[in-house]
Each structure stands twice: as C-alpha cells, then as structure tokens.
Structure 1
C-alpha cells in the first residue's frame, strides 16, 4: 500500500502553468501598453506624413511633417518590438497594434 500512495500524493507540489506564474500578468500588461503606444505612434506618423506630403503645404510644414514622421515612426517600431518581446505571441501583439492604430486614427 505504501508504494501506491507515492503516485497519488507526490512529494513535490504541482507547478502553475506558464501563463499563471509570477510575473506573467505583469509582462502581458506591459506588452499591451507597448502595443497600444505603437499603434498611437503609427497613427501620428501617418497624420504627419499627410501633413508633409499634402498638395498645398508650404516648405516649413513639409519639413516639420517629415521630421515628426521620422520620429514617430521610429518610436512606433521601438514600442512594437518591445511589445513583441513582452507578448505571449506575435499575433496578439499585431492585433493589439492594429486595434490601437484604428482607434487613434479616427
């Protein structure tokens, strides 16, 4: 009878699955925050590109639009890559960025 009890009651406690381990929810939170920021910066980059390359824009606004577009585009890629590193999958990160971009551009 003693040999059967060791299989039913193991000595080591069962481990939590990876998505419930300590810090996993914090990593997901920061992944979502980074992806939301990436979507917002992507929408701002698109708006500044429209400002820079519009048909009736003077040279000053064109230069300002190009500078803002370059800065916000680099911020968008920075936050997107950080969001990818924090997310559980790249599909979740891509959908979150797309959702944020659509909401930010309206």
Structure 2
C-alpha cells in the first residue's frame, strides 16, 4: 500500500533554504520520502490528520533532538501524504494550530 508524497509551495521554499544551510539534508529528505511512501503515519500526531516528524541533520551534528521537524498531512482516501513545513528546531520550537490550519488550506 504505497502512498504518494507531495509538497506545497511553503514546504518547497523552506527545504530549499535549509538545504543551503545543511548539505546532508538532501539525502536525509530522500530517505524520509521513501519511508513515508510505505508508512505515512510516522511521528507524533498533532491533530487535523497531521504529524510532526523529527529528523536528524548529520551535517548539524545534534541528532534528532536538535535536528529538523517536518509537518505532514495524511490524506487517507487519496493515499497521499502532503509535506507542509520543515523547520530547524533551533529556529522554531513548535507550530501553532493557526499556522497548521493555514498550511492545510494551501492544499485545497
């Protein structure tokens, strides 16, 4: 049961910015995509069918705790996972419900 993984424009901008900062992020991102296609409901459920996934950034050297966070939205009936946001843990602690709702609206 493979899912499709898609991104929204906000995510594309955010990952491009972080990839310039951390060279290893591209390979970690590709690994995450492969993993999400097989098992979409990874990470911590944060409501609205969304999950927060912690990933380590090898070039940063802090492990998962100080790495990046990726926010996903799982659309079960369409078998699609949308990548909504990625942020560096040192730049942003959490995502608010208001921000989450705004990102979900970008899908529709």
Could you tell me the TM-score, scaled by structure 1's length?
0.28
More strand by share: 2
Bigger Rg over Cα: 1
Could you tell me the TM-score, scaled by structure 2's length?
0.28
